A = this chain, B = another copy of it.
């Protein structure tokens, strides 16, 4: 089994969604070409992606929608439910609990923690916010599969360490900093500030490209300043 790239995994998620739609439309079979066009990629990419996990199609006919979806969901681990511990009952944490869309995919927030005494003991959706110190004890009641870090930057690494000690095997991080986890723990970071900055960069570049004179002027003066 070759190492699977993150982009391949992302596309598997997309395929699942497209297949859900197609299934709702009542289609029985789908070709790699049609699976690709809804996603803006090539049909070869679709076939390559799928072929790393098995031979799910039939030449001349395409893929059976229902069965392919079941395969992909099994590969992604969406054929089971996941117990999620949320740390940080602030803005993002509250939004995550309020947005129930993740439950549909099998991710259940089963406990919410925070360090702020002003929040501990209060209700958040169906949960009562617990003190972060209660995390180790909470593991005895029900183990957690995934931890979500929705705390301020400064607290993030220590929260990660606590979650790892609590036995989670994956962490979704919303704090805008690099975190360190043991290699047997999966980590994904959602960094919204970085996404804004990516847009800012793209817009800025588009402008300087349209007016290359300004680019050279800017880069020039910048380089001059940089020379101390």
Residues of B within 8 A of A98 (CB): 91
Tell me the smallest distance from the CB of A67 to a CB of chain B, in Å.
Answer: 5
Determine the distance from Cα of A191 to Cα of B10 in the docked complex, in whole angstroms.
10
> Which residues of A1-55 have CB atoms within 8 Å of chain B's CB atoms?
1, 4, 6, 9-10, 12-14, 16-17, 38-40, 53-55
Stretch at the interface among A75-83, A112-120, A126-134: A75-83
Determine the distance from Cα of A99 to Cα of B153 in the docked complex, in whole angstroms.
13
Q: Does A228 contact B (CB under 8 A)?
A: yes
Residues of B within 8 A of A188 (CB): 195, 198-199
Interface string of A67-79 (1 = CB under 8 A from B): 1101100111110
Residues of A within 8 A of B (CB-CB), count:
81
**A70, closest chain B residue (CB):** B225
Determine the distance from Cα of A66 to Cα of B197 in the docked complex, in whole angstroms.
19
Given known contacts A70-B225, A226-B68, is B190 in contact with A192 (CB within 8 Å)?
yes
Determine the distance from Cα of A76 to Cα of B143 in the docked complex, in whole angstroms.
42
**A209, closest chain B residue (CB):** B1
A residues neighboring B (CB under 8 Å): 1, 4, 6, 9-10, 12-14, 16-17, 38-40, 53-56, 58, 64, 67-68, 70-71, 74-78, 82, 90-92, 94-96, 98-99, 101-102, 105-107, 145-146, 169-172, 176-178, 184, 186, 188, 190-206, 209, 215, 218-219, 222-223, 225-228
The 6 tightest CB contacts between A and B, nearest first, are A77-B204, A170-B199, A186-B202, A95-B95, A77-B200, A91-B95
